[in-house]
Amino acid sequence: MKLIEKLLQCPQCKSNSLKYSQEYVNCLKCENEYQVKNNIPLMFLPNNWKKSINDVSKIVKKFYEKTPFPNYESIENKYDLILKAERSFYAKILNEQIPFNTKVLEVGCGTGQLSNYLGIAKRYVFGADMCMNSLRLAENFRKNNNINNTSFIQMNLFKPVFEKESFDLIICQGVLHHTSNPYLGFQKISQLVKKNGYIIIGLYNKYGRILTDIRRSIFKFTGDNFKFIDPRLRNIDRGKLKRESWFNDQYKHPHESKHTIGEVINWLELNNFDFINAIPKTTPLNPLTNNEKLFKINKKGNMIDHFIVQMFSIFNGYREGGLFLIIGKRR
């Protein structure tokens, strides 16, 4: 039995009595049938929330089906992917510090660059997303580069297709702020973490995003002129498609919310997680070092610390669009 078959559950009735073939996954309990296309099980089910709740998943899905993110331009094979990842301090140390043989789930993996990168080493990596165009790019890259430790699956993070406590590490970066209810999303995916396992959540910061909001207004009033005011857009070493994909994701997105360090630390506490680390750090004058141990416990700081760090992020968080990462460990 393949690992994925041991971990999957039906997103409809939550039964793990599933029958697998090349073309379908069938639930033996509720009899739902999920197609498997291009090696990707299509197990996305829409939210069945009350009409009064504004469910943005349809418009967000439509947006990413048209502009999958991130773009693979100039990444032709896994050596290009490794080079790109190793230029990013975070991706490099993440890869170095996730042990072999761990089970990792990337929720909202987009085109799967991180999942494919982490799956080059001997781990069991799953990339889940609701957007099929992104997953198709992810799976084609995986297949063409013989990355055999990564698998992709179509899933709605509000209706997980994995059994509770299945993963040593869940990574969910740049995703929950594009949903109708980020905290509910956090609750759903955090249940998939094993005891003593970790979760990494990346969200737009209320303060770190201020410059992006100002630039968005300038683009709006100038008909998308003056693109040079965004450092990533004036960097012509990045290909045209990459710059377009960044521009759309940052400035044309149909839905985003913004969050604070204190808010996410509170989510951790309410859901039985300890705070472990963050990027940027949650205490001031405490920069990341080359020897950073991502999964080693750090001080979480108090409200004043968070305020100072977030104020600084107005000016230094812009390169990543004001994203901050928090790492928690399940008790």
Ligand X SMILES: C[S@@+](CC[C@H](N)C(=O)[O-])C[C@H]1O[C@@H](n2cnc3c(N)ncnc32)[C@H](O)[C@@H]1O
The rounded distance, in Å, linking the Cα atoms of 24 and 120 is: 27
**Would you tell me the crossing angle of helices 240-251 and 210-222 to the nearest 10 degrees?**
100
CB closer to ligand X, 253 vs 284:
253
Q: How far is the CB of 99 from ligand X (least distance, A)?
A: 22
Residues that bind ligand X in the complex, under the rule CB under 6 A: 57, 60, 64, 69-70, 108-110, 129-131, 134, 155-158, 173-175, 178-179, 249
Q: How far is the CB of 185 from ligand X (least distance, A)?
A: 7
Burial class of residue 121, CB neighbours in 10 A (0-12, 13-18, 19+): middle
Q: How far is the CB of 84 from ligand X (least distance, A)?
A: 12
CB distance 144 to 219 below 8 Å: no
Q: How far is the CB of 122 from ligand X (least distance, A)?
A: 23
Burial class of residue 150, CB neighbours in 10 A (0-12, 13-18, 19+): buried
CB closer to ligand X, 60 vs 75:
60
Q: How far is the CB of 44 from ligand X (least distance, A)?
A: 7
CB distance 134 to 69 below 8 Å: yes
**Residue tagged 């604070």 (tokens):** 260
Q: How far is the CB of 60 from ligand X (least distance, A)?
A: 5
CB closer to ligand X, 71 vs 149:
71
244: tokens are 């377009």
CB closer to ligand X, 191 vs 286:
191
CB closer to ligand X, 60 vs 278:
60
CB closer to ligand X, 60 vs 294:
60
Q: How far is the CB of 159 from ligand X (least distance, A)?
A: 8
Nearest CA among 147, 83, 91 for reference residue 121: 147
Q: How far is the CB of 111 from ligand X (least distance, A)?
A: 7
Q: How far is the CB of 56 from ligand X (least distance, A)?
A: 8
CB closer to ligand X, 134 vs 310:
134
CB closer to ligand X, 11 vs 197:
11
